[in-house]
Amino acid sequence: MDAVVFYLVYSIVWGITLLPMPILYLISDIIFFLNYYVIGYRKKVVFENLQRSFPEKSVEELKIIRRKFYRHFADIIIEIAATVHLSEKDMKRHCTFKNVEVLDRLYQKGKSVTAIMGHYGNWEWQSGIGRMTQFRAIAIYKPLSNPYFDRFMTNMRQKFGLEVSPMNRIYRDLSEAKKAGQQTLTFFIADQSPMRRDIKLWIDFMNQKTGVFLGADKISKKLNNAIVYFKMKKIKRGRYEVEIIPLFEELISVEENEITISHMKILEEMIREQPEHWLWSHRRWKHQPE
């Protein structure tokens, strides 16, 4: 059954995404209309998340943000699907990186790098950095339950020179790369909600106590990686710009949890500037401190 569902969906996606991007964005408008006005996928969750994050805003202001989010969400669906047919040249046009020289400088110093990002903008399109640096670029991912969709997403992420490594194997893979003398650029999407038993730190984020993952913090310290943040901004439909922000180069004097607190602070600044571009539909605050 997994194979039947996959090949049915894949054949539809493959065919539709042969269309030019302007037509695909018209389809995005249809997806937005159906999702927002008919299906209402997680509208209550989105509104509750917004209310708790922006208590100073009126109901009408929050509804405007929610509507803009669903428009952006429809664009992401189309853009990720369109990656099937995007060339490397196309990707460089859709997602530009302002200052890759930050990575070049760290490479010349012999450092490996941890790159942290959030579910903001179109995070999948940041895979375009894969062939722009000399690093061995690796992204951490959580395998999907359907093996066919899992293989499809893995192949799509690796299309532009990025490797993927499952969450439960990433430290071993990075340790082996270090022993082999390979410099790695490892991507952590660090704004997910951990399982309650895994929460070791609560921070103030978006006006509420928030449990956070410490994986990027701990792994980076063990490997003595430099830390950068990939700050993404949506310029317009189909156009994103990423600023590579250096956070820490040497971690010897970095205090406990300082890496996590720093990158979550940047994400909050991004969200407050353009809130509609964060993934509000995930249940980010399903766990609260006791």
Per-residue pLDDT tens digits for 154-213: 888 888 989 999 988 999 999 999 999 999 999 999 999 999 998 999 999 999 999 999
Would residue 34 count as lying in a domain? yes
Reduce the DSSP state of residue 63 to 3 states and report it: helix
Would residue 287 count as lying in a domain? no
Would residue 220 count as lying in a domain? yes
Would residue 290 count as lying in a domain? no
Cα separation, 113 vs 115, in Å, equals 6
Q: For residue 237, report the phi and psi dihedrals to the nearest 5 degrees.
A: -55, 125
- Shared domain for 215 and 71, answered yes or no, is no
- Shared domain for 125 and 194, answered yes or no, is yes
Output DSSP code: residue 112: -
Report residue 211 as tokens: 């449990």
Report residue 218 as tokens: 């701990």
List, in order, residues 6 or more apart from 217 with CB less than 8 Å away.
257, 259, 260
Cα separation, 201 vs 212, in Å, equals 6
Q: Print burial letters for 136-159: b (CB count within 10 Å at least 16), e (below 16).
A: bbbbbbeeeebebbbebbbebbeb
Would residue 286 count as lying in a domain? no
Label residue 236 exposed, middle or buried (CB < 10 Å: 0-12, 13-18, 19+). Answer: exposed
What does the pLDDT read at residue 8? Answer: 86
- Length of the chain (residues): 290
Print the domain residue range for 254.
Answer: 93-277
pLDDT band of residue 251 (cuts 50, 70, 90) is very high
Which of 62, 84, 106 marks a domain boundary? 84
Which of 35, 53, 84 marks a domain boundary? 84
Would residue 282 count as lying in a domain? no
- Shared domain for 105 and 237, answered yes or no, is yes
- Shared domain for 220 and 147, answered yes or no, is yes
Predicted TM-score (pTM) above 0.85: yes
List, in order, residues 6 or more apart from 86 with CB less than 8 Å away.
94, 159
List, in order, residues 6 or more apart from 150 with CB less than 8 Å away.
143, 144
- Shared domain for 182 and 255, answered yes or no, is yes
Would residue 283 count as lying in a domain? no
- Shared domain for 176 and 140, answered yes or no, is yes
- Shared domain for 250 and 232, answered yes or no, is yes
Q: What amino acid is encoded at 22 in this protein? A: P
Q: For residue 147, report the phi and psi dihedrals to the nearest 5 degrees.
A: -65, -25
- Shared domain for 104 and 241, answered yes or no, is yes
- Shared domain for 228 and 273, answered yes or no, is yes
What does the pLDDT read at residue 47? Answer: 98
- Structural domain count, the chain: 2
Q: Among 65-74, 141-150, 275-284, which is the least confidently predicted range?
A: 141-150
Residue with tokens 């922006």: 54
Which of 84, 106, 129 marks a domain boundary? 84
